[in-house]
Every structure is written in structure tokens, then in C-alpha cells.
Amino acid sequence: MSTQEAKHTPLEYQTTHGQMNILGFWIFLAAEVVLFSTLFATYAVLFGRTADSPLPSELFGAEIVLIMTFLLLTSSFTCGIAIHNMRQGQVKPLIIWMVITLLLGLGFLGFEIYEFMHYTHEGATLQSSAFWSSFYVLAGTHGLHVTLGIGWATLLIIQIVKRGLTPVTSQKVFIISLYWHFLDVIWIFIFTAVYLIGMVV
Amino acid sequence: MASSTKRIPTQHIIGYVLSIVLTLVAAWVALKSNLPTLWIIVGILLLAVIQAGIQLIMFMHMVEFESNNGHIPWNMMFHGFVAAAIVVAGSLFTMVYGF
């Protein structure tokens, strides 16, 4: 590593503690991949076992799912912009972009809740069939992660406002950005494997 | 690293545009094209994998210098996804095809 590169090492990587925390978070993300894989496997195995409840192709709507996907994709992008600003040491743009990210995340959650309520009214509930149970558990676990992420990021924004950018706070913000992008990765697979395939088959 | 000092986050913008395009292509293939169902399923799953790769590399800084050029994140994600593929494919193999 040349001195030029040492000078540009982002704050979050400057302490061994920060590096270890980021490493640990990647291990957590790998475990999350496996957690979601069990839910995807359950969904795939139970696909079509709808008993007397409506078929997924009758309920899934392309518009709402595309809106949710674009909300989450855009929030992932704005979160990336926030980290870009953080690495330039700009606190205010960082906070603004993080708030936009959270608003988009809240929009996503709102649409997901609306969608679940709509399905419930149409007679597809958690109890109505094996297929719908696995659907709600898979999509719901992702929604729960988004909810947790919003709460977590809100607390971090407060911390940034109070303490500014230090190696500790920037490492925490970097980690939540990894978490947020990761939720988008999981959603891409839900969008494809659940909604698109559900509408095709 | 050069990319962290740039004023305009080119990499993020490219990643964002690519993921929007890939999402629209996947939706079009699934809903509007007349391909056989099996081809559609294989095609859109492939598009999803590409899009996940874009998220990991363009947004999650997977290959930057500070994380040992992505050595550790790459290891974690690779083995996580391999385990995930085995769980999903193995479950389908045993439960659906009756072995």
C-alpha cells in the first residue's frame, strides 16, 4: 500500500476494529443468504399447493410488484450515493440521502402491507393453504428485514447528527449500507422466483 | 482508491441504470414474450443472478482495495450462494421429483 492509498483509506477501514466488524457483517450476510434459501426452498416445494384458495396468477399484479421493485432499487441506489458522500466527508448530503433511502423503504413497506391486505380480502391468508403460508413467510421475512433496517438506520442517523463522522460512526453507516443493498439482492430473487414465475406458470 | 475520491458516483449510476433495464427486460420476458415457459423461467432466473452480481459489485464495494480486493466478501457470498443453491435444488429434487 503506497502512502497515496493510505491517505485515501475510508474512515470505516482505518481501524482494525472497523475492518473486523465489516468482515463479521459479511459472515452474517452469508448466513442470511442461507436463511432465505430455506424459505425459497419451502416456497418452491409447496408451489401449486393452493387447496381451495385463489391461484397466485389470479392475485399477483404486475404494476404493484414493479412499483415495489423500483422503490427498493432506487432506495438501494440512494443508499449508495449516501456512502459516496460519506467517503468524501460530507455529513449533510449523507444524512439527506439516507433519509430519502428510508422514505423509499417506507413506501415499499406501505405497498407490501397494502398488497398483503388485498390478498387477504381475496381469500388468500396465512392459514388458507400450504402455498400461501410459504408465500407470506418468505415475503414477510423480507418485509421484516426492511422494517428492522428502517429502525436501525433511523437510530444511526441520530447518532451521525450527534457525533459526526468518526471511524466508529462511518463503520456503522457502511455496515447498514451493506445490509440495505443485501435486502435488494433478496428482493430481486423474490421478484423473479415468486412474482414473475407465479404470473407465468 | 480512485473511485472514492470522484465527485460523480459513476459506478452507482451505471449499476442503477443496469438494474432498472434488467428488471424491465425480465418483466417483459415473463409477461409479454411468447417463449416456452421453461425458457422464461431459466432466462429470468439468469437475469436475477446477473442483477444480484451488479448489486454486489457496483453498490456493495465488494472488490475494493480496502477489503483485500474483495477476497473475504467474495468468499462469503460465493459459499453462501452455493449453499443456498444446494438447499433449493436439493429440496426440489427430493420433494417434487420423488426421490
Interface test with B, best of A4, A23, A26, A63 (most B CBs within 10 A): A26
Position A129 in a domain: yes
Q: Is B4 within 8 Å of A79 when comparing Cβ atoms?
A: no
Q: Provide the shortest C-alpha distance from residue A173 to chain B (in Å).
A: 12
- Residue numbers in A near B10 (CB within 8 A): none
Give the pLDDT mean for A93-104: 96
Position A103 in a domain: yes
- ipTM, interface predicted TM-score of the complex: 0.88
User: What confidence tier does A156 reach under pLDDT thresholds 50, 70, 90?
Assistant: very high
Q: Is B84 within 8 Å of A13 when comparing Cβ atoms?
A: no
Position A36 in a domain: no
- Residue numbers in B near A73 (CB within 8 A): 16, 19-20, 23
Q: Is A41 within 8 Å of B88 when comparing Cβ atoms?
A: yes
Give the pLDDT score at A3: 46
Which residues in B1-99 belong to E strands, given as ranges?
Answer: none
Asked if the model's pLDDT at residue A168 lies above 50, the reply is yes
User: Within chain B, which residues score under 70 in pLDDT?
Assistant: 1-6, 63-69, 98-99
Give the pLDDT score at A1: 42
- Residue numbers in B near A62 (CB within 8 A): 27, 31
Q: What is the CATH number of the domain that holds A176?
A: 1.20.120.80
Position A196 in a domain: yes
User: What confidence tier does A7 reach under pLDDT thresholds 50, 70, 90?
Assistant: low
How many domains is chain A built from?
Answer: 1
Give the pLDDT score at B1: 42
Interface test with A, best of B23, B41, B58, B60 (most A CBs within 10 A): B60
Position A155 in a domain: yes
Measured between CB atoms, does B1 come within 8 Å of chain A? yes
User: What confidence tier does A181 reach under pLDDT thresholds 50, 70, 90?
Assistant: very high
Asked if the model's pLDDT at residue A48 lies above 60, the reply is yes
User: What confidence tier does A192 reach under pLDDT thresholds 50, 70, 90?
Assistant: very high
Give the pLDDT score at B59: 84
Asked if the model's pLDDT at residue A71 lies above 90, the reply is yes
Supply B85's cell numbers.
443453491
Structural domain of A181 = 58-200
Supply A88's cell numbers.
468524501
> Which A residues 68-87 touch B at CB under 8 Å?
69-70, 73-74, 76-77, 79-81, 83-84, 87
State how far the alpha carbon of B72 is from the alpha carbons of A2, A10, A27, B65, B78, in Å.
22, 18, 9, 11, 10
- CB under 8 A, 24+ apart: contacts of A9-15: A9/B66, A10/A87, A10/A170, A10/A174, A10/B4, A10/B66, A11/A86, A11/A87, A11/A165, A11/A166, A11/A167, A11/A170, A11/A171, A12/A167, A12/A170, A12/A171, A12/A173, A12/A174, A13/B66, A13/B67, A14/A167, A15/A167, A15/A171
Asked if the model's pLDDT at residue A32 lies above 50, the reply is yes
Give the pLDDT score at A185: 94
Q: Provide the shortest C-alpha distance from residue A123 to chain B (in Å).
A: 24
Q: What percent of chain A has pLDDT over 70?
A: 96
